[in-house]
A and B are shown apart, each in its own frame.
Chain A
Amino acid sequence: MKRPSIDPAEIAVVGHALHSVAAEMGAALRRTAFSPNIKERRDYSSAVFTGEGDLIAMGDDMPVHLGSMPMSVSAALEAMRFAPGDVALLNDPYRGGTHLPDLTMVAPVFLKGRARPAFYVANRAHHADVGGMHPGSMGPCREIAQEGIRIPPVKLMHAGKMDAQVLAILLANVRTPAEREGDLMAQMGACRIGIARMQELVERFGFERLGRGVGAMLDGSERVMRGVLARLPAGEWRAEDFLDDDGVRLGRIGIRVAVRNDPAKKRAVVDFTGTDAQVAGNINAVYAITWSAVFYVFRCLLPADALATAGLMRPVRVIAPEGTVVNAVSPAAVAGGNVETSQRIVDTLLLALAQAIPERIPAASAGTMNNLTIGGIDTRYGSGRGLPYTYYETIAGGLGGSPQADGASGHHAHMTNSLNTPVEALEYAYPFRMVRYAIRKNSGGAGLHRGGDGLVREIELLGDAQVTLLADRRETRPWGLAGGEAGEPGVSNVIRNGREETLPGKCTRELRAGNRLRIESPGGGGWGRAKPD
């Protein structure tokens, strides 16, 4: 298929302009959001799609959303017909979502004189609570119905007007409705900013010309990925890695992958056949997440300035058998699939690729997001009776040492690209006191290039609260490569009246005012044999 060639400047100009639209949507969302997880930690993504639902621009946001946003758009397109001013909302992991706290909005961009949407804009933000058994909606559940409110693609806005009934059902099912409503308004405003910017772009370029640029950009992305595959060696590389447990039953859960590359055909297949069956606990990943993890790893092989578009993944096929932890089916619980299993899929893929291109692959990073959710009543507000709050945060760990350098300490790795909640912001927003926030010395694996160290974060609760931990790499360790040693596994302790108890990686506990929680995140693996002293 040969398109008429297009001026190379046009491709770059269109690519930069579209990226700028996605970045502006993200900025609007961040600046108007209410929850610290969105405004401080930037746990959101925004993206632009063609009228057919192909990803054409994405802000430099969360990799785990990279591949899964297009599936939200296609689920919305299947479910409804859009009119101007409509906005769709969804979170159902089995219909375009990832896990329930990620609420995604999809909005059409209509142009004058065209009956069908010319583009779509979408954004996704992780909300600190969507109801369910545990405050923060990230606890050890056994089926999705326990995890929170499940929203198939529905219209939240009709022709520019909020559907008060849909909103009422949603807000009645969450613990912190005022904050949720504020964050939803911020997402909705960001959609409008995206729509306005896209309409301006069309005004400037003309629809036909913009469309040609977009087509060339998508083809260009495909060419870039094919170039990468052509330079990878031919062969098949297999790897397996494990999650500690699923939070409700003991026993490791294996992820197995075979990466097959055919440089002559410039095609690759990533095959997860042999991965363990879906489990009772919440670490099941839906296909969108597995696809995102593969997208992320292959994107890491590209030149740094390659634009993230749908064209990139055209030459890569992902096989994930239904009913496994990498392609779970309803009614499996999925909260941890997005945050923990996604990280392990990346680890497994990197371990396979380390056999193909050992000079480019780093040792394992922390391999867990150390998800911490806390919910309770904040008596500082609400005149005596207090107001409910829900807090959510992921805690960074050490990065793996690479063939080139030591791993960095205290960084969010791979599928999460968020920041921390600054201590001041945390203490202002929640009834907590930060007792300690430090680098966890010597937790990175030894090696020619050391693994980065994890973090220590110790929080004192100022009121009674329910604390939920969703973490991994408490038993298995972030592996080293080329003779480097593994990083230290994570530890989570609760301190009551001076007595310490070590918690399982995935658990929920009722704690009292004055209790402390200390989380030590894993260090990264080392790369290369350490030189003797």
Chain B
Amino acid sequence: MIGALSVARRAGIARVLSFDMGGTSTDVALLDATHEPVTTIEGEVAGVPVRVPMLDIHTAGAGGGSLARIDEAGALQVGPQSAGADPGPACYGRGEGATVTDANLVLGRLHPEYFLGGAMRLDADRARKAIERVQRAGTGFGSVEAVAEGIVRVANVRMESALRRVSVERGFDPRDFALLAFGGAGPLHACALASALGMRQVVIPAAPGALSALGILDADLRREFSRTVMVEPGSKKIGGAFRELEAEAREVFRAEGLRPVLTRSADLRYRGQGFELRVDWGADAVARFHRLHAQAYGYADSARTVEIVTLRVQAVVRGQTLRVIAKKGKRGGGAAAMIGAHRVFEEGSWRRAVVYERSRLESGDRIAGPAVIVELSATIYLALGWTATVDGFGNLMLAPATTARKKTGGPR
């Protein structure tokens, strides 16, 4: 997760929902690069509530290895049972059960020859047979492809609920975020999930399959200084408390010979509530709180007493090294990275798609979906109606074709 945060910062995206889909489950988290990672005191460890700050990660019960089945209600369910690594998805050659990975293979979103950079050949016939078994267990299915599409849709709706949960429950709108997809299976589902949540930007970091384990060094130095004050907005304590926090911030950075940029924010609530919303500090902070409250929770009450729970000062020193690493790209079409043609099933029919090798894509290259982009640790599915651009750090930036250049996020 920490790795995800620094990728987002390097890509210049401030607010990110990250989505790490592995074999058995998916972790989602809300990351705000303008602040420390959004931490929660509503955490739970092994079912025991703990009141310490932690990265706000929520686990959804579907991963690439999650098994599809027809339940007693006649509905297609995906997970929580998983084929795990052994026997694994049917297409790995040992298992019988149909998994999300098998569905992606049948739909052409995985390429049998290029899985894990070609290190492992997938058995497409075996995947198809497994899905046919699911088809026979239910009534009302169309083609095998429709079943496979259904498996992907059900897995997606579960991840969508989890992503909504980490954002909406904290008072955020997912449409203001970019989706950062990683883990072995995340980049296969990213376009569909972003569409469902109304998100306009997807980031696939370099080496998405390994990112969650990497913990990349952060380029920016940043630290947050905060104080719980529990006062009303007019209180005389506020100015002094902010100045003390800023002095403390400067002092800490001065010890490193650095001069940080400081920004003020505060956590507000109506007196008596148990949860706060964070707003940038300024003359209109309270008005902004009312607006945000109405947007997030359906009402605002300007007659009610507002309480400032916590004051925060964010100190940032922009990284210098990045400009050296960032490659200046020429606008290109990625022709050098094409390694074959493939067909993918989407929106009810088969479509022609190009297979690209990610390592040969150059910064500045721009390609249109549907396309399958393969690399060592993951496969990326660029859906119909989406385009992908390679940025200066090797990240793939995906956007719906019509708004490819429109950027979401950005500092608040």
Contacts and interface: CB of A to CB of B under 8 A. Distances in A.
A16 B158 contact: yes
Interface in B63-86: 70-78, 80
Interface in A178-218: 178-179, 182, 185-186, 188-193, 196, 204, 216-217
B273 to A, nearest CB: 6
B272 A7 contact: no
Given A12-B154, A192-B298, A303 B71 contact: yes
B257 interface: no
A34 B269 CA distance: 10
Nearest to A6: B140
A247 B348 CA distance: 65
B75 A34 contact: no
A31 B76 contact: no
Contact of B297 (A5, A19, A23, A28): A28
A307 B298 CA distance: 27
Interface residues of B, number: 44
B274 A11 contact: no
Contact of B273 (A5, A19, A33, A224): A33
Nearest to B78: A12
Interface stretch (B161-169, B207-215, B281-289, B397-405): B161-169
A31 B154 contact: no
B297 A8 contact: no
Interface in A355-407: none
Nearest to B271: A34
A227 interface: yes
Contacts of A216: 74-75
A224 B75 CA distance: 11
B139 interface: yes
A9 B151 contact: yes
B157 A34 contact: no
B137 to A, nearest CB: 9
Contacts of A217: 73, 75
Interface stretch (B141-149, B220-228, B242-250, B317-325): B141-149
A78 interface: no
Given A11-B74, A13-B157, A23-B161, A190 B297 contact: yes
Contacts of A178: 272
A31 B138 CA distance: 40
Contacts, number: 141
A254 interface: no
A247 B292 CA distance: 48
B153 interface: yes
B275 interface: yes
Contact of A11 (B76, B158, B165, B171): B76
A5 B161 contact: no
Interface string A295-308: 00000000101110
B113 interface: no
A227 B296 contact: no
B73 A17 contact: no
Given A24-B169, A27-B169, A40-B274, A11 B298 contact: no
B150 interface: yes
A177 to B, nearest CB: 13
Given A40-B274, A179-B272, A224 B157 contact: no
A305 B161 contact: no
Contact of A31 (B75, B141, B164, B297): B297
A11 B153 CA distance: 11
A74 interface: no
Contacts of B73: 11, 217, 220-221, 223-224, 306-307
Contacts of B161: 16-17, 19-20, 23
Nearest to A38: B274
B236 interface: no
Pick the most buried of A7, A178, A185: most chain B CB atoms within 10 A of its CB. Answer: A7
Contacts of B293: 32
B75 A15 contact: yes
B299 interface: yes
A449 to B, nearest CB: 20
B74 A182 contact: no
A27 B77 contact: no
B270 interface: yes
B154 A182 contact: no
B274 A39 contact: yes
Nearest to A32: B297
B302 to A, nearest CB: 12
Given A7-B150, A9-B153, A24-B168, A34 B270 contact: yes
B304 interface: yes
B251 interface: no
A496 B378 CA distance: 69
A181 B146 CA distance: 50
Contacts of A425: 274
Contacts of A35: 272
A189 B273 contact: no
Nearest to B70: A8
B75 A188 contact: no
Contacts of B165: 20, 23, 27
Pick the most buried of A6, A220, A305, A306: most chain B CB atoms within 10 A of its CB. Answer: A305
B75 A8 contact: yes
B275 A39 contact: yes
Contacts of A192: 298-299
B301 interface: yes
B144 to A, nearest CB: 13
A20 B164 contact: yes
Contacts of B75: 8-9, 11-12, 15, 216-217, 220
A8 B76 contact: yes
B407 to A, nearest CB: 24
B82 to A, nearest CB: 14
Contacts of B142: 7
B140 A5 contact: yes
A216 B74 CA distance: 9
Contacts of A40: 274
Nearest to B169: A27
Given A223-B72, A223-B74, A7 B273 contact: no
A302 to B, nearest CB: 8
Interface string B171-183: 1000000000000
A9 B149 contact: yes
Contact of B146 (A7, A20, A31, A303): A7
A192 B300 CA distance: 12
A28 B154 contact: no
A380 to B, nearest CB: 14
Contacts of A186: 297, 299
Contact of B168 (A27, A32, A185, A227): A27
Contacts of B153: 9, 13
Given A8-B70, A185-B301, A305 B141 contact: no
Contacts of B157: 12-13, 16-17
Nearest to B74: A220
A187 B161 CA distance: 22
A188 B273 contact: no
Interface in A26-75: 27-28, 30-36, 39-40
B272 A189 contact: no
Interface of B: 70-78, 80, 138-142, 146-147, 149-151, 153-154, 157-158, 160-161, 164-165, 168-169, 171, 196, 270, 272-275, 293, 296-299, 301, 304
Interface of A: 5-13, 15-17, 19-20, 23-24, 27-28, 30-36, 39-40, 178-179, 182, 185-186, 188-193, 196, 204, 216-217, 219-221, 223-224, 227, 303, 305-307, 425
6 contacts: A9-B149, A20-B164, A179-B272, A193-B298, A196-B298, A220-B71
Given A31-B275, A33-B274, A223-B73, 13 more contacts: A9-B147, A9-B151, A17-B157, A35-B272, A182-B272, A182-B273, A185-B299, A189-B297, A191-B298, A220-B75, A223-B74, A303-B72, A306-B71
Enumerate the 8 nearest inter-chain pairs by beta-carbon distance, A residue then B residue, closest first.
Answer: A9-B150, A220-B73, A189-B298, A192-B298, A5-B140, A39-B274, A189-B299, A11-B75
